[in-house]
């Protein structure tokens, strides 16, 4: 052991500036510990090597190595870690409330909103159907007693003669956030109830389907396939946050689906349950175009923003207010309107019988007029 402790040939020990001549092992331990501590405080580049050598020398001298305790923050267990979310509990909670809806031409999905046999689905699932059957998770099948639907929002309710059914829980309106995990549960591809997980991509968005705007939508990358329509989009608490409805299809489109938010859907559902129909406000304009450079050039407009009208329904509020084809609406109640989406949204957010102020351009003249909205005619 003498040759080991008389001098230090190692650069690291030289850096510690320790002389080993005539020292006991205890002296060496004390000196190394002092110098090593000093180097740590000075930000030395050798701290890990120093620990290894201290342990090596102590062991070689017959001493017991020191116990090193490493402390730190354990991985998060509150769901904020990078571990993917588990939908096991969600499926167990929600699945009993999800149903399969079959008509003579197609299959879709729905979910129980009331234990007394009221099921929510999409209008396009049951539209024009002569026979509708609802199959519960327990295997029982019931014919539809009645159907109430609102084509404008693509929402319908189906009543069946059953009681004490497991109704789904509904989320608070304000709980949905972009980035939260969600699951679409339904009769995907007609293969029975299954789950497709994903995330909330956008909130309060809109799309046009078959010439009709759908508003208040949740965009998600959870796979929405044929048969999913009408089923619930749920959060990790197993609460319904939307009604799966639309999927974008195209060569360059992947992972874009939409659900009608429960905030948008509930007032419609309540009207369908209580009165069997929904009354929507109506202005009576059509052939709408968002004004852009092409529209400006084609119609030789003097204004480069707003919504161009190409038709006005005779005898309806817009006609009574003096609007004509090729007028450009730029504001409703003082709020700027720059797209079809904004104009339609502004009208739908009002009430039947409410008077609105319309600012529009005709040629080079800006005009302000008022119109009183009426109930949308049934088609």
Output the average pLDDT for the chain: 81
Residues 241, 124, 225, 136, Cα dihedral to 10°: 70
Pick the catalytic residue: 97, 148, 229, 245?
229
Known catalytic membership, residue 114:
no
Is residue 220 within a helix (H) or strand (E), and if so which, with residue range?
A: strand 212-220
pLDDT one-digit tens code per residue, 94-134: 999 999 999 999 899 999 999 999 999 999 999 999 999 99
Given pLDDT bands bounded at 50, 70 and 90, which one contains residue 212? confident
Question: Mean of the pLDDT values across residues 341-368?
Answer: 95
Known catalytic membership, residue 229:
yes
Q: How confident is the model at residue 255, as a pLDDT? A: 66
Question: Mean of the pLDDT values across residues 328-350?
Answer: 94
Contact residues for 179 (Cβ-Cβ < 8 A; gap 6+): 199, 200
> Which of 1-15, 112-126, 334-348, 363-377 has the weakest average pLDDT?
1-15
Q: How confident is the model at residue 248, as a pLDDT? A: 61
Given pLDDT bands bounded at 50, 70 and 90, which one contains residue 139? very high
| Alpha carbon distance 160, 42 (integer Å) | 78
| Alpha carbon distance 354, 373 (integer Å) | 6
Pairing of strands 155-159, 146-150: antiparallel
pLDDT one-digit tens code per residue, 218-269: 999 998 888 899 999 999 999 999 999 987 655 455 668 999 999 999 999 9
Q: How confident is the model at residue 324, as a pLDDT? A: 97
Given pLDDT bands bounded at 50, 70 and 90, which one contains residue 375? very high
Domains and CATH numbers, the chain: 2-60 (no CATH), 88-274 (2.40.10.120), 281-375 (2.30.42.10)
Pick the catalytic residue: 8, 109, 124, 148?
124
> Angle 334-327-207 (CA atoms, 0-180°, nearest 5)?
70
Go through 333-372 and write b for each residue having 16 or more CB atoms within 10 A of its CB, e for each that does not.
eeeebebbbbbbbbbbebeeeeebebbbbeeeeeeeeebe
pLDDT one-digit tens code per residue, 31-63: 444 544 444 444 444 444 444 443 333 444 444
Nearest residue to 152 (alpha-carbon basis) of 357, 21, 320, 348: 348
Pick the catalytic residue: 154, 176, 188, 271?
154
Answer yes or no: is pLDDT of 17 > 90: no
Given pLDDT bands bounded at 50, 70 and 90, which one contains residue 148? very high
């Amino acid at each position: 052991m003498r040759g080991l402790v008389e001098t230090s040939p190692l650069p690291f020990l030289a850096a510690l500036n320790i002389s080993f001549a005539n020292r006991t092992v205890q002296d060496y331990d004390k000196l190394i510990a002092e110098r090593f501590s000093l180097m740590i405080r000075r930000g030395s580049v050798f701290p890990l090597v120093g620990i290894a050598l201290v342990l090596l020398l102590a062991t070689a001298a017959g001493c017991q190595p020191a116990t090193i305790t490493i402390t730190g923050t354990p991985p998060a267990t509150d769901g904020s870690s990078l571990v993917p979310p588990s939908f096991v509990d969600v499926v167990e909670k929600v699945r009993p409330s999800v149903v399969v809806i079959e008509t003579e031409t197609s299959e879709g999905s729905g979910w129980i909103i009331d234990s007394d046999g009221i099921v929510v689905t999409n209008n396009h699932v049951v539209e024009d159907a002569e026979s509708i059957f609802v199959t519960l998770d327990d295997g029982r099948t019931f014919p539809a007693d009645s159907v109430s639907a609102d084509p404008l929002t693509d929402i319908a309710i189906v009543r069946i003669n059953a009681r004490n059914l497991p109704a789904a829980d509904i989320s608070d309106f304000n709980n949905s956030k972009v980035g939260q995990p969600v699951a679409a549960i339904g009769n995907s591809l007609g293969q029975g109830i299954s789950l497709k997980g994903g995330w909330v991509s956008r909130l309060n968005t809109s799309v046009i389907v078959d010439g009709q705007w759908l508003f208040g939508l949740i965009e998600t990358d959870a796979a929405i396939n044929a048969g999913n329509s009408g089923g619930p989009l749920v959060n990790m608490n197993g609460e319904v946050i939307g009604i799966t409805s639309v999927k974008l299809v195209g060569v360059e489109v992947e992972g874009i689906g939409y659900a009608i938010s429960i905030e948008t859907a509930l007032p419609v559902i309540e009207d369908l349950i209580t009165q069997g129909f929904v009354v929507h406000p109506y202005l009576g304009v059509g052939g709408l175009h968002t004004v852009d450079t092409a529209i400006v050039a084609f119609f030789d407009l003097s204004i480069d923003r707003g919504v161009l009208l190409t038709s006005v329904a005779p005898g309806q509020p817009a006609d009574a207010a003096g609007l004509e084809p090729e007028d450009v609406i730029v504001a409703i109640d003082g709020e700027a309107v720059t797209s079809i989406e904004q104009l339609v949204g502004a009208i739908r957010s009002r009430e039947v019988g409410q008077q609105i102020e319309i600012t529009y351009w005709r040629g080079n003249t800006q005009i302000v007029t008022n119109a009183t909205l009426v109930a949308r005619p049934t088609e």
